[in-house]
Amino acid sequence: MKAMVIHRHGGPEVLEPLDIDLPAPAPDEVHVRHTAIGLNFSDINVRNGGFYLGSGPPFPLILGNEAAGVVEGVGSQVQGFRPGDRVAYAGTGGLFFVDTGAYAEQRNLKAAHLVRLPDDISDHQAAALLLKGLTAAVVIHRCHTPQPGDVVLVHAAASGVGSLLAQWSAHLGATVIGTVGSEAKAAFAREHGCHHTILYRQEDFVPAVRRLAPQGVAAVFDGVGLDTFVPSFDVLRPFGAAVNYGNASGHVPPFNLMLLAQKGCLALHRPGFGFYANTTETRQAACDELFQLVRSGVLAVQVSRQVPLHDVAQAHADAEQGRSTGSVVLVPLSPRG
Protein backbone atom coordinates (compact mmCIF):
# COMPACT_ATOMS: atom_id res chain seq x y z
CA MET A 1 0.00 0.00 0.00
CA LYS A 2 1.05 3.61 -0.46
CA ALA A 3 1.70 6.14 2.28
CA MET A 4 2.98 9.72 2.45
CA VAL A 5 6.08 9.86 4.63
CA ILE A 6 8.83 12.18 5.75
CA HIS A 7 12.49 11.20 6.02
CA ARG A 8 13.46 14.40 7.82
CA HIS A 9 11.81 17.41 9.39
CA GLY A 10 11.19 20.44 7.21
CA GLY A 11 8.69 22.20 4.97
CA PRO A 12 5.88 20.64 2.94
CA GLU A 13 8.40 19.48 0.36
CA VAL A 14 9.68 16.73 2.70
CA LEU A 15 6.42 14.79 2.23
CA GLU A 16 6.83 12.04 -0.37
CA PRO A 17 5.11 8.79 -1.35
CA LEU A 18 6.43 5.40 -0.27
CA ASP A 19 5.28 1.85 -0.95
CA ILE A 20 4.92 -0.10 2.31
CA ASP A 21 4.09 -3.75 2.94
CA LEU A 22 1.39 -3.90 5.60
CA PRO A 23 1.58 -7.06 7.72
CA ALA A 24 -1.44 -9.01 8.90
CA PRO A 25 -3.05 -7.46 11.98
CA ALA A 26 -1.77 -8.55 15.38
CA PRO A 27 -4.20 -10.45 17.63
CA ASP A 28 -5.57 -7.22 19.19
CA GLU A 29 -5.52 -5.18 15.96
CA VAL A 30 -7.94 -4.30 13.18
CA HIS A 31 -6.92 -3.81 9.55
CA VAL A 32 -8.60 -0.60 8.34
CA ARG A 33 -8.80 0.61 4.75
CA HIS A 34 -8.89 4.40 4.92
CA THR A 35 -11.58 6.24 2.98
CA ALA A 36 -11.04 9.75 4.42
CA ILE A 37 -8.11 11.18 6.40
CA GLY A 38 -8.21 14.31 8.52
CA LEU A 39 -5.56 17.00 8.08
CA ASN A 40 -4.78 18.77 11.35
CA PHE A 41 -2.31 21.50 12.24
CA SER A 42 -0.70 19.08 14.66
CA ASP A 43 0.44 17.15 11.56
CA ILE A 44 2.27 20.26 10.39
CA ASN A 45 3.85 20.71 13.80
CA VAL A 46 5.09 17.11 13.75
CA ARG A 47 6.43 17.59 10.21
CA ASN A 48 8.31 20.69 11.36
CA GLY A 49 9.76 18.78 14.31
CA GLY A 50 9.14 21.48 16.89
CA PHE A 51 6.99 19.69 19.48
CA TYR A 52 9.04 16.76 20.72
CA LEU A 53 10.04 16.50 24.34
CA GLY A 54 12.92 14.19 23.45
CA SER A 55 14.68 13.09 20.27
CA GLY A 56 11.50 12.37 18.36
CA PRO A 57 10.41 9.27 16.44
CA PRO A 58 12.54 7.37 13.90
CA PHE A 59 12.26 7.97 10.17
CA PRO A 60 10.64 7.31 7.78
CA LEU A 61 7.59 8.68 9.56
CA ILE A 62 3.97 8.54 8.41
CA LEU A 63 2.09 11.59 9.69
CA GLY A 64 -1.54 11.83 10.71
CA ASN A 65 -3.71 11.10 13.73
CA GLU A 66 -7.22 10.84 12.33
CA ALA A 67 -9.10 8.89 9.68
CA ALA A 68 -12.26 7.01 8.80
CA GLY A 69 -12.50 3.80 6.89
CA VAL A 70 -13.75 0.25 6.53
CA VAL A 71 -12.63 -2.83 8.43
CA GLU A 72 -10.84 -5.26 6.09
CA GLY A 73 -9.73 -7.83 8.67
CA VAL A 74 -9.45 -8.43 12.41
CA GLY A 75 -6.93 -10.09 14.70
CA SER A 76 -7.66 -13.34 16.47
CA GLN A 77 -8.52 -11.68 19.81
CA VAL A 78 -10.67 -8.83 18.48
CA GLN A 79 -14.31 -8.74 19.46
CA GLY A 80 -16.92 -6.21 18.41
CA PHE A 81 -15.60 -5.50 14.89
CA ARG A 82 -15.87 -7.46 11.68
CA PRO A 83 -15.03 -6.89 8.01
CA GLY A 84 -17.25 -4.29 6.40
CA ASP A 85 -17.80 -2.22 9.56
CA ARG A 86 -17.41 1.54 9.17
CA VAL A 87 -15.02 2.94 11.78
CA ALA A 88 -13.01 6.03 12.63
CA TYR A 89 -10.31 7.08 15.08
CA ALA A 90 -8.60 10.18 16.45
CA GLY A 91 -5.31 9.45 18.12
CA THR A 92 -3.98 6.10 19.24
CA GLY A 93 -3.89 6.47 22.99
CA GLY A 94 -0.94 8.82 23.38
CA LEU A 95 0.19 12.36 22.60
CA PHE A 96 -0.47 13.59 19.09
CA PHE A 97 3.10 12.95 17.93
CA VAL A 98 3.15 9.37 19.25
CA ASP A 99 2.25 6.49 16.91
CA THR A 100 1.10 8.59 13.97
CA GLY A 101 0.32 6.89 10.66
CA ALA A 102 -2.96 8.06 9.16
CA TYR A 103 -1.46 9.38 5.88
CA ALA A 104 -1.75 5.94 4.31
CA GLU A 105 -4.18 3.90 2.26
CA GLN A 106 -4.43 1.26 4.96
CA ARG A 107 -3.39 0.77 8.56
CA ASN A 108 -3.45 -1.71 11.43
CA LEU A 109 -4.75 -0.26 14.70
CA LYS A 110 -5.59 -1.64 18.10
CA ALA A 111 -9.31 -2.28 18.26
CA ALA A 112 -9.54 -0.27 21.48
CA HIS A 113 -8.75 2.95 19.56
CA LEU A 114 -11.60 2.65 17.06
CA VAL A 115 -15.14 3.98 17.25
CA ARG A 116 -18.01 2.68 15.20
CA LEU A 117 -19.62 5.20 12.83
CA PRO A 118 -23.40 5.61 12.80
CA ASP A 119 -25.15 5.44 9.45
CA ASP A 120 -25.98 9.16 9.42
CA ILE A 121 -22.35 10.34 9.84
CA SER A 122 -20.35 10.14 6.63
CA ASP A 123 -16.71 9.09 6.44
CA HIS A 124 -15.71 12.60 5.39
CA GLN A 125 -17.64 14.15 8.27
CA ALA A 126 -15.97 11.79 10.71
CA ALA A 127 -12.47 12.52 9.39
CA ALA A 128 -13.16 16.24 9.68
CA LEU A 129 -14.84 16.02 13.08
CA LEU A 130 -13.26 13.61 15.51
CA LEU A 131 -9.90 15.11 16.45
CA LYS A 132 -11.10 18.70 16.11
CA GLY A 133 -14.35 17.93 17.89
CA LEU A 134 -12.65 16.12 20.77
CA THR A 135 -10.29 19.08 21.10
CA ALA A 136 -13.29 21.41 21.28
CA ALA A 137 -14.96 19.06 23.77
CA VAL A 138 -12.03 19.08 26.21
CA VAL A 139 -11.99 22.90 26.02
CA ILE A 140 -15.73 23.17 26.66
CA HIS A 141 -16.03 20.45 29.30
CA ARG A 142 -12.71 20.69 31.15
CA CYS A 143 -11.42 24.26 30.71
CA HIS A 144 -14.33 26.71 30.44
CA THR A 145 -17.99 25.98 29.80
CA PRO A 146 -19.58 29.13 28.34
CA GLN A 147 -22.66 30.32 30.20
CA PRO A 148 -25.63 32.39 28.97
CA GLY A 149 -24.52 36.00 28.97
CA ASP A 150 -20.79 35.20 28.69
CA VAL A 151 -18.71 36.81 25.99
CA VAL A 152 -15.95 34.58 24.62
CA LEU A 153 -13.17 35.28 22.14
CA VAL A 154 -12.24 32.57 19.63
CA HIS A 155 -9.01 33.08 17.72
CA ALA A 156 -8.85 31.64 14.20
CA ALA A 157 -12.62 31.31 14.28
CA ALA A 158 -12.78 30.08 10.67
CA SER A 159 -10.49 27.13 11.38
CA GLY A 160 -11.70 23.60 12.00
CA VAL A 161 -11.50 23.69 15.80
CA GLY A 162 -12.26 27.40 15.99
CA SER A 163 -15.52 27.09 14.08
CA LEU A 164 -16.64 24.20 16.30
CA LEU A 165 -15.84 26.17 19.45
CA ALA A 166 -17.72 29.19 18.13
CA GLN A 167 -20.82 27.15 17.30
CA TRP A 168 -20.74 25.25 20.58
CA SER A 169 -20.29 28.43 22.64
CA ALA A 170 -23.14 30.17 20.84
CA HIS A 171 -25.36 27.13 21.42
CA LEU A 172 -24.63 27.42 25.16
CA GLY A 173 -25.79 31.04 25.16
CA ALA A 174 -22.53 32.97 24.87
CA THR A 175 -21.82 35.94 22.63
CA VAL A 176 -18.92 34.92 20.40
CA ILE A 177 -16.23 37.23 19.03
CA GLY A 178 -13.95 35.67 16.44
CA THR A 179 -10.66 36.80 14.94
CA VAL A 180 -10.12 35.94 11.27
CA GLY A 181 -7.69 36.78 8.51
CA SER A 182 -9.96 37.82 5.62
CA GLU A 183 -13.43 38.98 4.68
CA ALA A 184 -14.22 35.53 3.30
CA LYS A 185 -13.21 33.94 6.59
CA ALA A 186 -15.25 36.55 8.47
CA ALA A 187 -18.34 35.54 6.50
CA PHE A 188 -17.63 31.87 7.21
CA ALA A 189 -17.15 32.56 10.93
CA ARG A 190 -20.42 34.47 11.14
CA GLU A 191 -22.17 31.51 9.52
CA HIS A 192 -20.59 29.22 12.12
CA GLY A 193 -21.38 30.75 15.49
CA CYS A 194 -19.67 34.14 15.62
CA HIS A 195 -21.72 37.21 16.46
CA HIS A 196 -18.82 39.58 15.79
CA THR A 197 -15.66 39.19 13.73
CA ILE A 198 -12.37 41.08 13.82
CA LEU A 199 -9.97 41.16 10.87
CA TYR A 200 -6.72 40.87 12.80
CA ARG A 201 -4.59 41.88 9.81
CA GLN A 202 -6.42 45.21 9.60
CA GLU A 203 -6.71 46.16 13.28
CA ASP A 204 -5.30 45.25 16.66
CA PHE A 205 -7.69 42.73 18.16
CA VAL A 206 -7.17 43.95 21.77
CA PRO A 207 -8.84 47.37 21.48
CA ALA A 208 -11.38 45.92 19.04
CA VAL A 209 -12.45 43.30 21.58
CA ARG A 210 -12.49 45.89 24.36
CA ARG A 211 -14.92 48.00 22.36
CA LEU A 212 -17.24 45.01 21.99
CA ALA A 213 -16.78 43.75 25.57
CA PRO A 214 -15.77 46.68 27.84
CA GLN A 215 -15.86 44.47 30.96
CA GLY A 216 -13.69 41.84 29.33
CA VAL A 217 -14.45 38.39 27.96
CA ALA A 218 -15.08 35.32 30.09
CA ALA A 219 -12.68 33.14 28.10
CA VAL A 220 -10.25 33.17 25.22
CA PHE A 221 -10.05 30.01 23.12
CA ASP A 222 -6.76 30.21 21.26
CA GLY A 223 -5.29 27.84 18.71
CA VAL A 224 -2.83 30.39 17.33
CA GLY A 225 -0.30 30.60 20.15
CA LEU A 226 2.73 32.86 19.78
CA ASP A 227 1.03 35.84 18.14
CA THR A 228 -2.13 35.97 20.24
CA PHE A 229 -2.03 34.17 23.57
CA VAL A 230 -0.24 36.56 25.93
CA PRO A 231 -1.77 39.68 24.29
CA SER A 232 -5.18 38.09 24.93
CA PHE A 233 -4.67 38.49 28.67
CA ASP A 234 -5.56 42.16 28.15
CA VAL A 235 -9.10 41.34 27.00
CA LEU A 236 -10.04 38.88 29.76
CA ARG A 237 -12.27 39.87 32.63
CA PRO A 238 -11.07 39.19 36.20
CA PHE A 239 -10.92 35.44 36.86
CA GLY A 240 -11.35 34.77 33.15
CA ALA A 241 -10.00 31.64 31.44
CA ALA A 242 -7.09 31.70 28.99
CA VAL A 243 -7.16 28.46 26.98
CA ASN A 244 -4.39 27.60 24.51
CA TYR A 245 -5.11 24.44 22.52
CA GLY A 246 -2.83 24.98 19.51
CA ASN A 247 0.23 26.80 18.23
CA ALA A 248 -0.35 27.68 14.58
CA SER A 249 1.94 30.73 14.82
CA GLY A 250 4.48 29.08 17.13
CA HIS A 251 4.94 28.21 20.77
CA VAL A 252 3.61 30.52 23.47
CA PRO A 253 6.75 32.18 24.88
CA PRO A 254 7.74 31.75 28.54
CA PHE A 255 6.25 34.37 30.85
CA ASN A 256 6.30 35.24 34.53
CA LEU A 257 3.46 33.49 36.35
CA MET A 258 2.80 36.71 38.29
CA LEU A 259 1.45 38.15 35.06
CA LEU A 260 -1.72 36.12 35.59
CA ALA A 261 -2.34 37.87 38.91
CA GLN A 262 -1.51 41.28 37.49
CA LYS A 263 -3.96 40.78 34.62
CA GLY A 264 -6.87 39.79 36.88
CA CYS A 265 -6.24 36.42 38.55
CA LEU A 266 -6.59 34.54 35.30
CA ALA A 267 -6.99 30.79 34.95
CA LEU A 268 -4.57 29.18 32.49
CA HIS A 269 -5.27 25.99 30.53
CA ARG A 270 -3.26 24.01 27.96
CA PRO A 271 -5.42 20.92 27.25
CA GLY A 272 -4.66 17.82 25.23
CA PHE A 273 -7.63 15.86 23.89
CA GLY A 274 -5.91 12.50 24.37
CA PHE A 275 -6.26 12.78 28.13
CA TYR A 276 -9.97 13.61 27.84
CA ALA A 277 -11.13 10.49 26.01
CA ASN A 278 -8.42 8.00 26.90
CA THR A 279 -10.45 4.83 27.43
CA THR A 280 -12.72 2.91 25.10
CA GLU A 281 -15.78 3.95 27.11
CA THR A 282 -14.95 7.65 27.45
CA ARG A 283 -13.87 7.88 23.81
CA GLN A 284 -17.07 6.34 22.52
CA ALA A 285 -19.18 8.55 24.82
CA ALA A 286 -17.35 11.70 23.69
CA CYS A 287 -17.74 10.76 20.02
CA ASP A 288 -21.42 9.93 20.53
CA GLU A 289 -21.89 13.42 21.95
CA LEU A 290 -20.25 14.94 18.86
CA PHE A 291 -22.39 12.84 16.53
CA GLN A 292 -25.53 13.98 18.35
CA LEU A 293 -24.48 17.64 18.15
CA VAL A 294 -24.01 17.23 14.39
CA ARG A 295 -27.27 15.31 14.09
CA SER A 296 -29.21 18.03 15.92
CA GLY A 297 -27.70 20.85 13.88
CA VAL A 298 -25.70 22.42 16.72
CA LEU A 299 -22.40 21.71 14.97
CA ALA A 300 -22.03 22.06 11.22
CA VAL A 301 -18.94 20.18 10.03
CA GLN A 302 -17.57 22.12 7.09
CA VAL A 303 -15.34 20.09 4.78
CA SER A 304 -13.89 22.91 2.72
CA ARG A 305 -11.66 20.77 0.50
CA GLN A 306 -11.12 17.15 -0.44
CA VAL A 307 -7.49 16.69 -1.45
CA PRO A 308 -5.91 13.57 -2.96
CA LEU A 309 -3.47 12.10 -0.45
CA HIS A 310 -0.59 12.48 -2.89
CA ASP A 311 -1.23 16.27 -2.92
CA VAL A 312 -0.93 16.59 0.87
CA ALA A 313 2.20 18.78 0.58
CA GLN A 314 0.17 21.51 -1.13
CA ALA A 315 -2.58 21.13 1.48
CA HIS A 316 0.04 21.61 4.22
CA ALA A 317 1.37 24.73 2.50
CA ASP A 318 -2.13 26.18 2.15
CA ALA A 319 -2.88 25.57 5.83
CA GLU A 320 0.39 27.18 6.94
CA GLN A 321 -0.30 30.24 4.82
CA GLY A 322 -3.82 30.61 6.20
CA ARG A 323 -5.48 29.77 2.89
CA SER A 324 -7.71 27.05 4.34
CA THR A 325 -11.15 27.51 5.87
CA GLY A 326 -12.97 24.86 7.84
CA SER A 327 -11.61 21.32 7.58
CA VAL A 328 -9.51 19.66 4.89
CA VAL A 329 -9.96 15.95 4.22
CA LEU A 330 -7.38 13.83 2.41
CA VAL A 331 -8.66 11.15 0.05
CA PRO A 332 -6.52 7.98 -0.33
CA LEU A 333 -4.74 7.43 -3.61
CA SER A 334 -7.01 4.61 -4.69
CA PRO A 335 -10.24 3.15 -3.31
CA ARG A 336 -8.67 -0.14 -2.23
CA GLY A 337 -4.94 0.53 -2.09
The predicted-structure confidence for 105-117, as pLDDT tens digits, reads as follows: 999 999 999 999 9
**What is the full DSSP assignment across 297-311?**
TSS---EEEEEEGGG
SS3 83: coil
From residue 191, alpha-carbon distances to 9, 167, 319 in Å are 37, 9, 21
Q: Provide the pLDDT confidence category of residue 295 given band limits of 50, 70 and 90.
A: very high
Pairing of strands 175-180, 151-154: parallel
Residue-level pLDDT at 337: 38
Fold of 148-270: Rossmann fold (3.40.50)
The predicted-structure confidence for 173-216, as pLDDT tens digits, reads as follows: 999 999 999 999 999 999 999 999 999 999 999 999 999 999 99
Fold of 2-130+274-331: Quinone Oxidoreductase; Chain A, domain 1 (3.90.180)
Count of beta carbons in the 10 Å neighbourhood of residue 182: 15
Long-range contacts made by residues 112-115, C-beta under 8 angstroms, separation at least 24?
112/28, 112/280, 113/89, 113/283, 114/30, 114/32, 114/81, 114/87, 114/88, 114/89, 115/87, 115/88, 115/89, 115/283, 115/284, 115/287
SS3 123: helix
Residue-level pLDDT at 281: 87
Q: Which residues pair with 61 in a beta bridge?
A: 6
| Residues in contact with 258: Cβ distance below 8 Å, sequence separation at least 6, in sequence order | none
**Phi/psi at 270 (nearest 5 deg)?**
-135, 85
Residue-level pLDDT at 52: 64
Residue-level pLDDT at 335: 45
pTM: 0.94
The predicted-structure confidence for 145-163, as pLDDT tens digits, reads as follows: 999 999 999 999 999 999 9
- The full set of domain ranges for the chain reads 2-130+274-331, 148-270
The 8-class DSSP code of residue 104 comes to B
| Residues in contact with 210: Cβ distance below 8 Å, sequence separation at least 6, in sequence order | 216, 234, 235
Residue-level pLDDT at 316: 97
Q: Which of 14-28, 235-249, 261-275 has the lowest mean pLDDT?
A: 261-275
Q: Which of 32-41, 132-141, 261-270, 319-328 has the lowest mean pLDDT?
A: 319-328
- Please give the mean pLDDT across all residues of the chain: 93
The predicted-structure confidence for 267-290, as pLDDT tens digits, reads as follows: 999 998 777 878 888 899 999 999
Greater confidence (277 vs 227) lies with 227
Q: 19 and 2 in contact (C-beta within 8 Å)? A: yes
From residue 336, alpha-carbon distances to 100, 179, 204, 208, 252 in Å are 21, 41, 49, 51, 42
| Residues in contact with 282: Cβ distance below 8 Å, sequence separation at least 6, in sequence order | 276
Percent of the chain with pLDDT over 70: 95
* Residue range 66-89: mean pLDDT, rounded: 97
From residue 194, alpha-carbon distances to 41, 173, 302, 319 in Å are 22, 12, 15, 21
Residue-level pLDDT at 325: 87
Q: Does the structure show a pLDDT above 90 at 54? A: no
The 8-class DSSP code of residue 118 comes to P
